[in-house]
Amino acid sequence: MQAERYLEFKSVRQLLEWQRSETHPALQVIVLAAARWHWLAAAGPAVVTALLRTPREQKAIYPASSGGRSPHEFGRAADLRVSALTPAQAESWADWINSAFAYRGRSGLMTALVHEVGGRGRHLHVQVGPGESSPESEVNTTAAPVV
């Protein structure tokens, strides 16, 4: 895909996860749009550092968690590097994503945030909600037929 020139992956693991059906298609749309923003701001591709996580990996990152599940466990979250951006640019990146993509379809909820967890470095976390439809589960009855 040409759009993926704007996007790189930390390792082969993330690339394979991106290509698997477990990664939500709505997440891919947001990540690709975010990658284009990054390209314009940093003159280089965005880098995906995390997509899917096992419950064990999640527990290692959040050992004090009360057992809540992460959208990473369901293919609904991605982490991207912010190291090529200034702190202000990184926050602007998250703000742009939040203005363009409403989490769970409601304004005020965050689709993206810049944070650091467990000394693993600041990064941009992007997520889609559990009720986000995907092309496999949605039939568009209002669109004109393709001829």
Per-domain residue ranges for the chain? 2-127
More confident residue, 67 or 16: 16
Beta strands in the chain (DSSP E): 7-9, 46-50, 77-81, 112-116, 122-127
Q: Average model confidence (pLDDT) for the chain?
A: 83
Residue range 117-128, pLDDT digits in tens: 877 789 999 999
Mean pLDDT of 108-114: 85
Considering the segment(s) 2-127 as one domain, its CATH architecture is 2-Layer Sandwich (3.30)
Residue range 136-145, pLDDT digits in tens: 544 444 555 4
pLDDT at 140 (0 to 100): 47
Cβ atoms of 35 and 46 closer than 8 Å: yes
pLDDT at 139 (0 to 100): 44
Local confidence band at 104 (pLDDT 50, 70, 90 cut-offs): low
Cβ atoms of 76 and 132 closer than 8 Å: yes
Residue 63's identity, in one-letter code, is P
Local confidence band at 32 (pLDDT 50, 70, 90 cut-offs): very high
